[in-house]
Structure 1
Amino acid sequence: MSTALNRFVERLCVVLLALLVMTVWLGICARYIDFIQITFTEELSRYLMIWVALLAISSGIARREHVGLTFIFESLPPPVRRWLGIAFDLISFAFFAFMCVYGVSFVERGFNSTTMILDIPKAYPYAVVPVAGFLSCAQLALRIAADFTIPGEAMAPQASEVSQ
């Protein structure tokens, strides 16, 4: 389930990143061609970048590729490492759950104001906060479940990473 969810999120990130690149190039071209007056590219590219960055968090969690210093963690015995990893996952889960719950009220308040150039409710760009929080919680829950059900799985990279 984690792999399927991650595959969907990665594909969505690729589409959003492609839109981001096209938007930035359109803005660059419009800046140097006098007769093209396009003003939305900077704002749209900013929101696309935020969406891609926050959605990619769940992919990092699914692949266990999040940033961290592991030299102390890897020097611990496997049982300690397993429980410490689960404790870190639970702390992360609490943070992302808070982000999801708080993000919903953030989105609700976003319907009361609009963006400067695109003139859309700020709730649409803000919606990534609870979405990213939910996806991260889902991936963490799936990884914790794998840590308990699959022997030797705790804090291990996925098989696709080992082959690279």
Structure 2
Amino acid sequence: MYTLINKIIEGLLVAIFGLLVIDVVWQVISRYIVGQSSSFTEEFARFSLIWLTVLGAAYINGQQEGHLAMDFLLSKLPEAKRKGRQKVIQISMALFALVVMVIGGGNLVYTTLRLGQTSSALHLPLGYVYAIVPLSGLIIIFFSWYNIKKLNK
């Protein structure tokens, strides 16, 4: 399950980044070669960056060695204490993801969809843009659970 979720997220991140590159190249071509800039490209780029950042953070959480960490003191501890501290860190990350991203982000999505807020150029409901926050929170919780399970072995 862990590998499947990683592959799906990797594919999504590559696709979003590819679309972002195409969008920005089109913006440059339409502005400087055609002489008339497209109205949707700036907004699409902004939404793509939101998705890349939040989904990328969830992906990096699953890659234990890939994220920035200050682990100098942690690496100096004996193995048993290090595993205990790592469990506390994973639990803290899961709680943060639950409270801030899943509950808070879910509330944001619900509120913006209920109010009917849409983006100005794409006319896309903003709740769909913000939906990546609770989704990424659930992914972080899954990866934290997986990492704790891996530490118990």
TM-score by length of 1: 0.86
Aligned twin of 1:89: 90
Kept in 2, the 8 Å contact 1:3–1:62? The answer is no
SS in 2 for 1:97: helix
Aligned twin of 2:58: 58
Tell me how far apart the structure 1 counterparts of residues 60 and 32 of structure 2 sit (CA, whole Å). 38
**Which ranges of structure 1 fall in alignment gaps of 5 or more residues?**
151-164
Aligned twin of 1:106: 108
RMSD: 1.2
Q: Deviations over 1:58-96 (max 9, x none)?
A: 221211122111111111111111000000000000000
Tell me how far apart the structure 2 counterparts of residues 35 and 57 of structure 1 sit (CA, whole Å). 37
Question: For structure 1, which segment, 18-27 or 34-43, has the greater mean C-alpha deviation from structure 2 after superposition?
Answer: 34-43
Aligned twin of 1:15: 15
Aligned twin of 1:129: 133
Aligned twin of 2:149: 145
Q: Deviations over 1:137-163 (max 9, x none)?
A: 111111111111x2xxxxxxxxxxxxx
Q: Deviations over 1:93-126 (max 9, x none)?
A: 0000111111111011122211121111111111
Tell me how far apart the structure 2 counterparts of residues 3 and 49 of structure 1 sit (CA, whole Å). 25
Count of paired positions: 149
Tell me how far apart the structure 2 counterparts of residues 38 and 4 of structure 1 sit (CA, whole Å). 37
Question: Which structure's residues are more often helix, by fraction?
Answer: 2
Kept in 2, the 8 Å contact 1:110–1:123? The answer is yes
Aligned twin of 2:78: 77
Tell me the amino acid that sits aligned with residue 105 of structure 1: N
Tell me how far apart the structure 2 counterparts of residues 125 and 29 of structure 1 sit (CA, whole Å). 26
Which stretches of structure 1, 4 residues or more, deviate above 4 A after TM superposition?
none
**Which ranges of structure 2 fall in alignment gaps of 5 or more residues?**
none
